Amino acid sequence: MTITQTRPGEGQGGAVRRPSRLFRNMSAKVAMLPLIFTAVVIFLGGTLWTVLYSFTGSGLLPRLEWVGLEQYERLWGTRKWIVSIQNLALFGFFSLIGTLVIGFILAALLDRKIRGEAVFRSIFLYPFALSFIVTGLVWQWILNPEFGLQSVVRELGWSTFTFDPLNNPSIVMYGLLIAGLWQGTGLIMCIMLAGLRGIDEDIWKAARVDGIGTVKTYVRIIIPMMRPVFVTALVLIAAGIVKLYDLVVAQTSGGPGISSEVPAKYVMNTMFGGQNLGQGFAASTMMLVMVVIILIPWAYLEFGGKKNG
């Protein structure tokens, strides 16, 4: 082995084919075995396995007994799954908009050369360090209708004030939304703030010279310039929303009734609680489909044009 053969970036391009090719750069290949195993066997293999078995009648144990699309037909005929999807759509829509709007507003405010920026930033970001379980349990307590926010406002004199998302099936998802936004907006704020700081100061000067107001400058000039940052944020939020699980388990356990069930929880319940593996496989395959629907247009937009470098 000579130096030239193993220079970075050249490992793949040897001009002369030699029998020892497989063994060249051996240490690196051995060192990468855990990664190769994780990528190929766990991630790729595991995903394909589940998709394959979603077409079988697996119950308590997985078995290769083909039933075609029966699991999917049953899935879409189950009310709990339909409710889960509706909840996820509702939560996803408001969470996406709320996170982007609040994240951007906070970042823009922090970017106004204010005092105490570090303090505000620490306060906005600390919830992100906490787990969804902690988040869910705190908000469960704050939204407790008997002792929490509702009773405090009533004691202040507004005796008809009613906000009991944890007891009221029609607004329970908003209770989860408040907690979800609390936990996740800090991260998006950080990404947005970095984006804002990356914008040339001269743009602001030019806008001022032209007499354009601050808000108008943000809407017309800054936000369009930050398109890549918004796209990144969007993908991060969307991929996180599909995984929504721990928060629901901690805050509402899916209740009242089934009014705050979500797909990830449906998968867990059928797979490990209901001994109904086929349903769990079909439901998790649908989750994968959702992520693919989110990611494909984005990947196409970002890399479609300039692919093949």
Partner 1 sequence: MADVGILAATKAAQHPIHTLLDGPRGAKPKKKLSRGNIIVYGTLFVFAMYYALPLYVMIVTSLKGMPEVRMGNIFAPPLEVTFQPWVKAWSEACTGINCDGLSRGFWNSVTILIPSVILSVAIASVNGYALSMWKFRGSEVFFTILMIGAFIPYQIMLYPIVILLREAGLYGSLTGLVLVHVAFGMPINTLLFRNYFSSIPEELFKAARVDGAGFWAIFFKIIMPMSLPIFVVALIIQVTGIWNDFLFGVTYISSPDAYPMTVQLNNIVNSVQGVKEYNVNMAATLLTGLVPLAIYFASGKLFVRGIAAGAVKG
- Residues 105-124 within binding reach of partner 1 (CB under 8 A): 105-106, 109-115, 117-118, 120-124
75 binds partner 1 (CB under 8 A): no
Separation of alpha carbons 250 and 248, rounded Å: 5
CA 47 to chain centre: 19
Q: Which is nearer to partner 1, 6 or 259 (CB)?
A: 6
State which of positions 224-263 bind partner 1 (CB under 8 A). 228-229, 231-232, 235-236, 239-240, 242-243, 245-246, 249-250, 253
| Distance of closest approach, residue 68 Cβ to partner 1, in angstroms | 20
Smaller CB distance to partner 1: residue 176 or 229?
229
**293 half-sphere exposure, CB direction, 13 A CA radius:** 7
Q: Which of residues 209-228 bind partner 1 (CB under 8 A)?
A: 214, 228
Which residues within the stretch 132-171 sit at the binding site for partner 1 (CB under 8 A)? 132-135, 137-142, 144, 147-149, 151-152, 155
Say how far apart CA 245 and CA 181 lie, in whole Å. Answer: 15
CA 202 to chain centre: 35
Does residue 23 touch partner 1 according to CB under 8 A?
no
The amino acid at 217 = T
Tell whether residue 208 is a contact of partner 1 (CB under 8 A). Answer: no
* 256: preceding bond cis by omega (within 30 degrees): yes
The CA–CA distances, whole Å, from 118 to 14, 110, 114, 125, 197 equal 52, 9, 10, 10, 15
The footprint of partner 1 on this chain (CB under 8 A) covers a number of residues equal to 120
Q: Which residues of 178-195 are buried (b: 16+ CB within 10 A; e: fewer)?
A: bbbbbbbbbbbbbbbbeb
90 touching partner 1, by CB under 8 A: no
CB of 158 to partner 1, least distance (A): 14
Q: Are 282 and 75 in contact (CB under 8 A)?
A: yes
User: In terms of CB distance, is 8 or 211 closer to partner 1?
Assistant: 8
Q: Is 72 in the site for partner 1 (CB under 8 A)?
A: no
